[in-house]
């Protein structure tokens, strides 16, 4: 099944349902016609099946509609993470070689910076109110296009999208995905998140990320309502949830945490019945708070990636906070020896190894875009995708993610997984956020170091750090070698646009230090800035 045809058939099936709510309010037939116009305008600009169309867009109607329109052409929608740096985006432009580039006001500055550093020969469209020199007006171009279907025969093996990874370990990697990949992943998401016909969801996760696309496409398949949210703001999210009667939320844990901080979760409990999260582990404290205040019928922890979408699903997240559960409905996974030359024989229960996932799935990509080096590293053996994540299966057969292969702390010859220590520290009522890393240390090799953000902004950071360090040594249920050697109070925990903690920035010293303690460990890299 192809995504474009799915939208057209939904328009026939649900002619009166609201499909999109936000800057435009459209029924399914109106959305189908709007995407026909955009598709025909792309054809007129020379876009052919298989071509890339790059988008520098916020989480807007233009983003959603352009993505769906390109599905009707078999062109490769290529949404860029507008929070990447100009050099990274310039690399993505040269790597993708798009035929057309679409940007909006929010992204116009970074778009122009990236264009100056690259040499793409693409037609530029601007969807905004502030014209860009040399760029055609998106809405004027679309308004002149035909409303009829574009007449391109798209098959399930044709291109759908190319997502660029965030580049946490080098240059961003393009992840091309077919119509089959995207439809299968979206159906799997519907089944795993237990969506029903006519659900409504908040379009809060960026559509340059697999979570944002899954929110969009799942609503099209079930004839649901997608509610636009260009920039995430928890207070605005509460308003939209109430006004649009949102029934299902799919967010990263940090976004749920921000919702909880508003103190208004109970206001939305009457409409929100289904919760799902991904992108990072959720602390047991936040998990319990959501369970208590919203009392959801469904509470799912989804673990996956752009490359395959689903690795594992825990369909009762509050039952076992932190567990990733079992392999998804279209997935097969193993925990194996992380050594590159090792076999893919599964490790025994409770033994930590690298999580690998079968590529023999309709959800799985076939390899990175023009990156044979990345393929050689990630795809090995009999079509196993190496995630780079450490994990283990417990005695019940449930998967636990213990961190990244590169994040594991080796201190005094012992292995410490940051997530385990973070989960304990997050239970302290005075800690708002925490991240644990290993900093270089002459005595220990690496010293377990906790970076914390206090709940109370006005508390003396030095006193707070000393109090938390003392708590870890006397009350926290941690083995001695897992206890932090230092506690550093910082302004904020660095995160990716989808909420993943960027430990590498903490190791590199990219933080604002307010205070700290623990003289028995060296400070590692000096902070970039102190206050």
Tens-digit pLDDT profile for the chain (531 aa)? 999 999 999 999 999 999 999 999 999 999 999 999 999 999 999 999 999 999 999 999 999 999 999 999 999 999 999 988 899 999 999 999 999 999 999 999 999 999 999 987 899 999 999 888 889 999 999 999 999 999 999 999 999 999 998 654 568 999 999 999 999 999 999 999 999 999 999 999 999 999 999 999 999 999 999 999 999 999 999 999 999 999 999 998 889 999 999 999 988 999 999 999 998 778 888 999 999 999 999 999 999 999 999 999 999 998 888 899 999 999 999 999 988 777 899 999 999 999 999 999 999 999 999 999 999 999 998 899 999 999 999 999 999 998 778 778 888 877 788 888 998 999 899 999 999 999 988 778 889 999 999 988 888 999 999 999 999 999 888 888 899 999 999 988 988 766 778 888 888 888 889 899 864 333 333 333 333
Contact 31, 19 (CB under 8 A): yes
H-run or E-run covering 418: helix 418-425
The set of residues, in sequence order, having a beta carbon less than 8 Å from that of 420 and lying 6+ positions away, is 402, 482
Helical residues (DSSP H) of 223-335, grouped into ranges: 234-244, 253-261, 265-268, 284-294
The set of residues, in sequence order, having a beta carbon less than 8 Å from that of 231 and lying 6+ positions away, is 58, 59, 106
d(CA 184, CA 26): 26
User: What pLDDT is stored for residue 146 in this prediction?
Assistant: 97
Residue spans of the domains in the chain: they are 409-530
Helical residues (DSSP H) of 76-132, grouped into ranges: 86-96, 108-116
What DSSP line would sit under 345-360, residue for residue? PPPPTT--EEEEEES-
User: What pLDDT is stored for residue 167 in this prediction?
Assistant: 52
Helical residues (DSSP H) of 117-269, grouped into ranges: 138-143, 179-192, 210-222, 234-244, 253-261, 265-268
The set of residues, in sequence order, having a beta carbon less than 8 Å from that of 337 and lying 6+ positions away, is 343, 345, 347, 353, 354
> 61-71 and 210-222 helices cross at what angle (nearest 10)?
70
Contact 283, 423 (CB under 8 A): yes
The set of residues, in sequence order, having a beta carbon less than 8 Å from that of 136 and lying 6+ positions away, is 123, 124, 125, 126
Contact 446, 461 (CB under 8 A): no
Query: How far is C-alpha 465 from the geometric centre of its chain's CA atoms?
Result: 31
Question: Which residue is associated with the tokens 């969506």?
Answer: 195
- CATH class for the domain made up of 409-530: alpha beta
- Phi and psi dihedrals of 113, rounded to 5? -65, -40
Nearest to 24 by CA among 62, 57, 70, 59: 62
d(CA 58, CA 83): 10
What DSSP line would sit under 434-466, residue for residue? EEEEEEEETTTEEEEEEEEEESSTTS-HHHHHH
- Taking 3-state DSSP, the helix, strand and coil percentages for the chain, each rounded to the nearest 5, stand at 30, 25, 45
d(CA 249, CA 296): 10
Contact 56, 35 (CB under 8 A): no
């Amino acid at each position: 099944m192809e995504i474009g045809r799915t939208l057209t058939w939904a328009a026939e099936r649900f002619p009166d349902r609201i499909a999109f709510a936000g800057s435009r309010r459209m029924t399914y037939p109106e959305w189908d016609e709007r995407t026909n116009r955009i598709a025909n305008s792309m054809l007129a600009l020379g876009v052919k099946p298989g071509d890339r169309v790059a988008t520098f867009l916020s989480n807007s109607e233009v983003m959603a509609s352009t993505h769906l329109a390109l599905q009707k052409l078999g062109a490769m929608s290529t949404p860029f993470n507008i929070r990447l740096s100009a050099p990274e985006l310039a690399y993505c432009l040269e790597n993708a070689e798009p035929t057309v580039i679409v940007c909006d006001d929010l992204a116009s500055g970074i778009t122009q910076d990236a264009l100056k550093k690259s040499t793409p020969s693409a037609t530029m469209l601007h969807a905004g109110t502030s014209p860009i020199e040399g760029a055609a007006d998106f809405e004027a171009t679309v308004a002149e296009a035909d409303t009829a279907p574009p007449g391109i025969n798209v098959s399930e093996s044709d291109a759908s999208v190319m997502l660029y990874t965030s580049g946490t370990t080098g240059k961003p990697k393009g992840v091309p995905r077919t119509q089959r990949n995207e439809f299968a992943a979206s159906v799997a998401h519907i089944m795993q998140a237990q969506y029903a016909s006519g659900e409504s969801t908040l379009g809060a996760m960026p559509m340059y990320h697999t979570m944002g696309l899954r929110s969009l496409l799942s609503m099209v398949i079930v004839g649901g309502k997608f509610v636009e949210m260009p920039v995430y703001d928890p207070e605005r999210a509460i308003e939209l949830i109430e006004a649009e009667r949102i029934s299902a939320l799919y967010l990263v844990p940090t976004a749920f945490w921000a919702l909880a901080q508003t103190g208004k979760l109970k206001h939305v409990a009457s409409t929100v019945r289904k919760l799902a999260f991904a992108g990072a582990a959720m602390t047991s404290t936040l998990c319990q708070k959501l369970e208590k205040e919203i009392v959801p019928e469904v509470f799912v922890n989804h673990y996956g990636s752009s490359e395959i979408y689903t690795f594992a699903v825990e369909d009762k997240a509050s039952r076992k906070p932190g567990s990733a559960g079992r392999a998804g409905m279209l997935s097969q996974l193993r925990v194996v020896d992380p050594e590159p030359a090792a076999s893919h024989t599964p490790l025994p229960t409770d033994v930590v190894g690298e999580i690998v996932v079968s590529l023999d799935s309709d959800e799985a990509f076939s390899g990175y875009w023009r990156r044979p080096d990345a393929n050689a590293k990630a795809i090995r053996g009999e079509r196993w995708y190496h995630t780079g994540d450490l994990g283990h299966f417990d005695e019940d057969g449930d998967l636990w993610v213990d961190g990244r292969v590169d994040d594991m702390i080796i201190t005094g010859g012992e292995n410490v997984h940051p997530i385990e220590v973070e989960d304990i520290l997050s239970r302290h009522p005075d800690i708002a956020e925490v991240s644990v890393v290993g900093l270089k240390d002459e005595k220990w090799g690496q010293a377990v170091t906790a970076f914390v953000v206090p709940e109370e902004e006005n508390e003396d950071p030095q006193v707070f750090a000393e109090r938390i360090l003392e708590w870890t040594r006397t009350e926290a249920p941690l083995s001695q070698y897992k206890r932090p050697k230092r506690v550093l109070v910082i302004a904020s925990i660095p995160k990716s646009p989808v909420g993943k903690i960027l430990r590498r920035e903490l190791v590199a010293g990219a933080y604002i230090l307010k205070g700290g303690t623990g003289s028995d460990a060296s400070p590692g890299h000096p902070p970039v800035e102190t206050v």
